[in-house]
Amino acid sequence: MKISKKLSGTFVLHSSLGRTMMIFMLLLLTAVLVVSAWTLDRSWSRKLQDTESSAVNLSVSQARQAEDTFLQTEITLRAIQREIPAGGPTHADKAALNAALAEMKSGLPQLNGLFVYDALGNWIATAAAQTSTGMNNADREYFTYHRNNRHGGIHIGQVIRSRLTGELVIPVSIRLNDAGNGFVGVALATVRIESFKRFYSYFELGEGDLLALLLDDGTALYVRPFPDTFINQSLSASPLFTTQLVRADRGKGTWNSALDNKVRIFGYARSGQYPLIVAAGFDKSALWSRWLHDSMPDLVLNGTLLLIIVLIGTLVLRQVRTNVENQVELTTLRDELTTINQSLQALALLDGLTGLANRRQFDLFLGQSLKRSALNGKGVGLIMMDIDFFKLYNDTYGHVAGDNCLRRVGEALKNLPLRQTDLIARYGGEEFAIVLPDTSPDATLHIAQSAVDAVREAAIPHESTTLEAGVVTLSAGCIVLVGSDDGQDAQRIKEGADHALYQAKHDGRNRALISEASE
């Protein structure tokens, strides 16, 4: 009782001014704590954002590096394919093939070896100076794959140990055919895992950070800094494959690593040319420790500031008005944060390259339109569009010009005579889409044809196209569907538009077709 009276006398709590001052001090201390916490939270958020950007940039750059490595390998394999006689490789061709393979390999230090096998898996030729005779590789996965599959593309397999050198290698192979497209053998290039180890070692990463090269089925080809025992481990259960890559071919996220259950901040990128994925992960706990160490001066400064405020608050009663000013500032800050959050939410629905709606906004808008269609019985039109021969455009002009081409196509689509209720979106890569609520098949086909005409009339040069126009063109497929609200409408309408787009491509491109399933 005496203590409470003493405190009451010290802080003049028995008076209205004393009580007001005490309330003010508590509010002021709370405000400073909130601002300090907000400042630290903002600092941590920026640290996370910078780390996410670094992870994405690192994964994209390494995906490009991997693409270059395997592109050189593919070019070499196709050169070998051209060297093989029409009847298939034989021991009679061994000397010439050995010399050709040795010359090709000399300029590719990332390769462990180049080999040619006949239809039975017998070792016909190799780039190695010394070879073993009588070896047969018909039991290898890549040989079985090409024997059972007729397509002419390259095949990238899981890591194996070379029977010639004992080194860990990635097999990259191609099928050899005779004039009748019959199987006559396999040409094989083996890429050293050691070349990726050496290249990845150039990057400064923490002990808990990782850089991984994966196949698109989740198989680990190499993961720095993990030992070789993790090679060929399946990571298909990782959130990278179950959720992230389902949404986008490149991006970022935070999850528990399937390798060691450690929480990491990941960036990832899928190769657009080969079944490869590169992921870069930064140890979140280590990042937190470094951030906390760097923020220690701010924490000490904020603590000192709190002590000073307490001392000043006990001596100066006139600080009451400061509370009002702080509240006003906090209200303004809250409004600014609300505005920023609203702006960020809007940006999250836009494609950064073209300024059109992105895939996320497209999916939301299409789902809402189909639900409304199920209620009012009016059709929803969907137009799926794809730039013709865009890969050839990128190969000819480069990726920077490719991005400019996508922007110009986006501008041409923005100028279409659409309603405010319609939506134009970049669906992904060189694909675009238009959603037309409350429309008819005729109107939908008209808009699709207008889109094709608008892109062609933009006259974007494309010397690599096989079309006579010599400019960038568009193929479009469309469909009109009345929603049924059974949960499968979005899938059906996409498949219908895709089918029409495929038919437009098959019929010669630079045209628009509508699916016969339109209602």
- How many residues make up the chain in this entry? 519
Strands lying side by side in the sheet with 423-428: 423-428, 431-436, 380-387, 474-481, 512-514
* CATH domain 44-294 topology: Beta-Lactamase (3.30.450)
Helical ranges in 149-266 per DSSP H: 193-200, 239, 245-247
Extents of the domains making up the chain: 2-43+295-344, 44-294, 359-514
How many Å apart are CA 40 and CA 37, to the nearest integer? 5
Give pLDDT tens digits for 125-169: 888 766 556 688 899 999 999 999 988 889 999 999 988 888 999
49-68 pLDDT tens trace: 999 999 999 999 999 999 99
198 is written with which tokens? 């050496």
- Per-residue pLDDT tens over the stretch 235-273: 999 999 999 999 999 999 999 998 899 999 999 999 989
> What is the model's pLDDT at position 346?
47
Would you identify the CATH topology of the domain 359-514? Alpha-Beta Plaits (3.30.70)
Predicted TM-score (pTM) of this structure:
0.54
Q: Which of 226, 150, 134, 220 is nearest to 182 (CA)?
A: 150
pLDDT given for residue 256 in this prediction: 93
pLDDT tens column, 453-490:
999 999 999 998 888 878 999 999 999 999 887 878 88
The per-residue pLDDT for 234 is: 93
In tens, the pLDDT along 198-217 reads 998 888 888 899 999 999 99
pLDDT band at 26 (very low <50, low <70, confident <90, very high): confident
Q: Does the pLDDT of residue 3 top 90, yes or no?
A: no
